[in-house]
Structure 1
Amino acid sequence: MGRFRSNSPKPLKDALKEFLDNYPHRKRMKRGMILSLWNETVGKRIAEQTENVHFEHGNLVVHVKNPAWRQEIHMKRFSIAKRLNEKVEEKIIKEIVVRS
C-alpha cells in the first residue's frame, strides 16, 4: 500500500509516460498512433494519394494510387519516417515501403 503513495502529486504527463513505458503492448499502440498521425504528418496532398497504410514486419507500407506519386513519396520516405518516429518518441518505423 505504501508504494503507491507519494509525498507530492506527479504531473499527469509524467504519470502517463511512466505507464506507457511499462505498457506491455507499447509498440503496437505506437504503431496505431503513427497510423493516426499519417495524414497530419505528410500533408493533405500526399495523404489524398495514399491508401491502405499499414505495418508489415516493422516496415510502414504505403499504397499509392498514382505511380508518379509513388516516386515522390519514395524520395521523401526517410524524412517522413523520421518525423513520425519523433512524434511517438521512439523508432517504430524501420523503413517506409511505397507500393503502387
Structure 2
Amino acid sequence: MSRESRPRMRRAARIGALVEDVLHARGFEDKIREYRTWLIWDETVGPQIAARARPVRIRDGVLEIRVDQPVWMQQLQLMKPMLLGRLNDRLGGAVLRDLFLRQGKNAPVVPPPVPPAPPAWLKVALDDNDRAEIEATLGSLDDPELKEQLRRVLTRQKQLSKSKGGS
C-alpha cells in the first residue's frame, strides 16, 4: 500500500494491542485467556491463599498450583470447586478444567515497585512571557496535532531550562 493511499494514523498503536491482535490472528485466544490466570490470581483467591499458593503452569486446561504447606494443601483441596469456579468466572468462561495441587516452596511475592516521583523541573511554572514565546515559535504551523505536540515539548524544555537557572 502506498503512503498516499493509507489513512493518516491519529496516534501510535500501543504494543500490547498489536501483540494481542497478532496472537488473536494466529488462534491463541484460548491460551491468552488461560494465561490471564497469573494476572488475576492474587485478587481472585485473596491475600491469605495468594501468600501460600502460586500458579505454576497450565497443561490441557489443568492449572498446577504450588502450595507451601501440607495444611494449606488440604484446605485448598476442599476449596477446589469454589476456586475453580471463581477463576473461570473471572477468565470469562470454562477455561480451566481442574486444579492440581503440588507441595513446594514458593518464591516470596514482591510488591510492585513504587514509581519514582516526577522530577522537580516539571513543577516549574511558566509565566505569560514564556507562554507567549512558545506560541510565537509555533505561530506558522498549520497542523493542529503537530502544533500541540511541539507545544508540549517546548513547554517542557522551557521548564527544564528555568529550573537550571536559564531564561
Tell me which residue corresponds to 2:71. Answer: 68
Tell me which residue corresponds to 1:39. Answer: 42
Higher strand share: 1
Is it true that 1:87 corresponds to 2:114 in the alignment? no
2:91, 2:53 → 1: CA distance?
21
| Structure with max Cα Rg | 2
Tell me which residue corresponds to 1:12. Answer: none
- How far is 1:84 from its partner? 1.0
1:46, 1:53 → 2: CA distance?
14
2:71, 2:64 → 1: CA distance?
17
2:54, 2:91 → 1: CA distance?
21
Where structure 2 has 5 or more consecutive residues not aligned to the other structure, the ranges are 1-19, 104-167
Large movers: runs of 4+ above 6 Å? none
Could you tell me the TM-score, scaled by structure 1's length? 0.72
1:67, 1:27 → 2: CA distance?
32
Change beyond 3 A, Cα 1:27–1:98: same
Where structure 1 has 5 or more consecutive residues not aligned to the other structure, the ranges are 1-18
Give the fraction of aligned pairs with identical amino acids, expressed as a percent: 22
1:67, 1:29 → 2: CA distance?
31
Higher helix share: 1
CA contact (8 A) 1:35 1:54 kept: no
2:79, 2:57 → 1: CA distance?
17
Name the amino acid aligned to 2:30. K
Give the aligned length.
Answer: 80
Change beyond 3 A, Cα 1:86–1:46: same
- How far is 1:56 from its partner? 1.9
1:46, 1:67 → 2: CA distance?
13
